[in-house]
Amino acid sequence: MIGGKRPVLKVIVIGDSGVGKSSFMNRYVNHRFSSAYRATIGTDFLSKEVNVDGNTVILQIWDTAGTERFQSLGTPLYRGAHCCMLVFDVTSRASFSALDGWRKEFLIQGEPQDPSEFPFIVLGNKTDMGNREVSGKLAQQWCEEIKAEYFEGSAKEDLNVEKPFLRAAQRGLQQYKKHTLENTGHFQITCKQPRETRNTCEC
């Protein structure tokens, strides 16, 4: 806990439709996987209580629809996010190429306080598949250019699912402390009026 309460960290998960955003979320939060594809309509939301560096936090994970017709939802949804996870399918070069557009859209719509320092986590899904089109080296190189951290794994095979979300929680908590606590701390003025004399407060 921080300041007597558990911080609520908002993590936005974006990327093209079909890359496995919902599958990764469900595997992490509910420890379940379904091979039946169901497109997210609008948004999906899951939460999980996690321990980050000795602090108990509530991780709110928001999954956005990857289809163009739902991108208008991004404006209100992206705001207030503490971390953004960009997801692509390692067997689809197109889904990887689209990440730059998703990232720029998030920065425009989300309006983070410090865009150059906002934390992005890049996640390559479906590493269990044999027809890989995006190498780990290529993805890592792009992440270095945009100052993001790269992870890859498989929701289906439950490979490397926890690490990217825990890292998102760590980076999100840093954002929470940096902006939420600092901003409120500077404006908390306590004024105690003497009970005996009812004098005017001399704050």
The domains located in the chain, with CATH, are 8-185 (3.40.50.300)
DSSP code for 93: H
pLDDT bracket for residue 151 (50, 70, 90): very high
Q: How many residues does the chain have?
A: 203
* CA–CA separation, 1 and 8 (whole Å): 10
Question: How many C-beta atoms surround the C-beta of residue 152 within 10 A?
Answer: 20
pLDDT bracket for residue 40 (50, 70, 90): very low
Q: Give Cα separations from 135 to 85, 93, 105, 161 (angstroms).
A: 19, 10, 25, 19
Both structure tokens of 25:
């979320």
Task: List, for residues 89-124, the tens digit of each pLDDT value.
Answer: 999 999 999 999 999 999 998 999 899 999 999 999
| Higher-confidence position of 117 and 3 | 117
- Closest alpha carbon to 160 in 126, 133, 119: 126
Q: What are phi and psi of 62, to 5 degrees?
A: -110, 120
Residue 6: per-residue pLDDT: 87
- In one letter, which amino acid is 148? A
Choice among 25-34, 64-73, 110-119, 131-140 with the minimum mean pLDDT: 64-73
| Higher-confidence position of 135 and 70 | 135
Strands 43-52 and 55-64: antiparallel
* CA–CA separation, 121 and 72 (whole Å): 22
* CA–CA separation, 140 and 148 (whole Å): 9
| Higher-confidence position of 1 and 187 | 1
Q: Where are the beta strands (DSSP E) in the chain?
A: 8-14, 43-52, 55-64, 83-89, 120-125, 149-152
Q: In what order do the strands lie in the sheet with 149-152?
A: 43-52, 55-64, 8-14, 83-89, 120-125, 149-152
Query: What does the mean pLDDT of the chain come to?
Result: 83
Task: List, for residues 163-191, the tens digit of each pLDDT value.
Answer: 999 999 999 999 999 876 555 444 333 33
Instruction: Report the interhelical angle of 99-110 vs 136-146 (nearest 10°).
Output: 30
